[in-house]
């Protein structure tokens, strides 16, 4: 049993309380490899933003759960080396799907876990979430739960049909489970193809898809029911069209990839939404940078010469999100 506190990590309780009160949101970035982790920590350290490092089931399979945990421990030391005196870094399990998995993460030093039982019937979602909360809280590990179903594909999490969170259920759910934060469904979606063309309109000038707006009325209903309670948005990449263009110009093929407009995320950050998950955007940044090098310098074969630019591009993206979208810069001095 390792406590995250020995590793210099923090749970989400104080981060979220401050974010809700301050009208900003904490970035939750997924990581799978060293370059991505370096980019996240460099961006957070430079902007002095609290940050949540997320480990998905795909990341655990790809990189190994134990190795990722030690990387997060290293990230705390790296942040200090970069001059961030009191780093606020949370290590979070993304989309945990069983009690055993959540328990193993609590036991190995994660400071926060998500139990996603949103695909189960309501009462079963409550029972499983409560079981995880009861265990995690013994070790002061915070728990994110989910109510409502997001569309899209994220690693092994996928759903054909989405349905919005029902505001009339949130008080009962939060009270009976004791969860610390709640992921809701208001129209965000996992992946780089968040909407089918038939769900969108098309900008006549650029020919690009314009996605349907988020259901802010549902969000405001939920806020009214649970004043000050931390709300989480998954699937909130914006799919920057400049990356899609670079990818497509350099041999890639991502037709009609579209995400959530940043203005809408900015608006959500000012509400009870205090954690915004961003994964696909960094994948796009990385792929754009790597494709560009491969295309322009076909003789290059030193991985540092393409992973280095990829890291720089991801860092730029993370800093942009922190400063211009979430507003979390300067909140962890």
Least Å from the CB of residue 274 to Zn ion = 16
Provide long-range contacts, Cβ within 8 A and 24+ apart, for 238-246: 238/262, 238/265, 238/281, 238/325, 239/192, 239/194, 239/280, 239/281, 239/284, 240/281, 240/284, 240/285, 240/317, 241/208, 243/281, 243/284, 243/285, 243/287, 243/288, 244/284, 246/288, 246/291, 246/292
Comparing CB distances to Zn ion, the nearer of 47 and 54 is 54
Near Zn ion by CB under 5 A, which window of 83-91, 101-109, 207-215, 230-238? 230-238
Establish if 291 lies at the interface with Zn ion (CB under 5 A). Answer: no
Comparing CB distances to Zn ion, the nearer of 92 and 234 is 234
Active site residue 94: yes
Comparing CB distances to Zn ion, the nearer of 61 and 224 is 61
Establish if 194 lies at the interface with Zn ion (CB under 5 A). Answer: no
Establish if 92 lies at the interface with Zn ion (CB under 5 A). Answer: no
Beta-bridge partners for 258: 193
Comparing CB distances to Zn ion, the nearer of 194 and 234 is 234
Q: DSSP letters along 75-111, please?
A: HHHHHHHTT-SS--EEEEEEEE-SHHHHHHHHHTT-S
Least Å from the CB of residue 154 to Zn ion = 5
Establish if 275 lies at the interface with Zn ion (CB under 5 A). Answer: no
Least Å from the CB of residue 167 to Zn ion = 20
94, 180, 279, 329: the active-site residue: 94
Establish if 315 lies at the interface with Zn ion (CB under 5 A). Answer: no
Q: What angle do CA 189, 192, 193 make, to 5 degrees?
A: 70
- C-alpha count within 13 angstroms, C-beta hemisphere, residue 111: 22
Comparing CB distances to Zn ion, the nearer of 76 and 157 is 157
Least Å from the CB of residue 255 to Zn ion = 24
Binding test (CB under 5 A) with Zn ion, winner from 48, 92, 194, 234 = 234
- C-alpha count within 13 angstroms, C-beta hemisphere, residue 238: 19
Q: Which residue ranges make up the site for Zn ion (CB under 5 A)?
A: 234
The catalytic site residues sit at 94
């Amino acid at each position: 049993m390792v406590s995250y506190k020995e590793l210099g990590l923090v749970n989400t309780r104080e981060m979220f309380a401050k974010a809700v009160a301050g009208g900003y949101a904490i970035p939750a970035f997924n990581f799978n490899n060293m370059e991505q982790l370096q980019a996240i920590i460099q961006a957070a350290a430079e902007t002095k933003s609290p940050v949540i490092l997320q480990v998905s089931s795909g990341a655990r399979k790809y990189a190994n759960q134990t190795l990722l945990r030690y990387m997060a421990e290293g990230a705390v030391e790296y942040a200090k080396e970069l001059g961030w005196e009191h780093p606020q870094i949370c290590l979070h399990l993304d989309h945990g799907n069983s009690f055993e998995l959540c328990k193993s993460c609590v036991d190995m030093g994660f400071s926060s876990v998500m139990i996603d039982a949103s695909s189960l019937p309501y009462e079963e979602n409550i029972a499983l979430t409560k079981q995880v909360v009861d265990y995690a809280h013994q070790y002061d590990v915070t728990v994110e739960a989910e109510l409502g179903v997001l569309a899209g594909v994220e690693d092994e999490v996928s759903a054909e049909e989405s349905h919005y969170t029902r505001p009339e259920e949130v008080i009962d759910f939060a009270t009976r489970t004791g969860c610390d934060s709640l992921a809701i469904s208001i129209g965000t979606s996992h992946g780089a193809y968040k909407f089918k063309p038939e769900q969108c309109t098309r900008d006549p000038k650029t020919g690009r898809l314009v996605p349907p707006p988020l259901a802010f009325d549902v969000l405001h209903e939920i806020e009214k029911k649970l004043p000050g309670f931390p709300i989480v948005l998954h699937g909130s990449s914006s799919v920057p069209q400049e990356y899609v263009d670079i990818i497509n110009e350099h041999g890639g093929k991502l037709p009609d990839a579209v995400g959530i407009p940043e203005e809408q995320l900015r608006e959500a950050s000012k509400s009870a939404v205090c954690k915004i998950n961003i994964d696909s955007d960094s994948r796009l940044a990385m792929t754009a940078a790597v494709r560009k090098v491969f295309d322009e310098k076909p003789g290059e074969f030193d991985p540092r010469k393409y992973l280095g630019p990829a890291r720089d591009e991801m860092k730029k993206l993370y800093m942009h999100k922190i400063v211009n979208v979430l507003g979390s810069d300067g909140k962890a001095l």
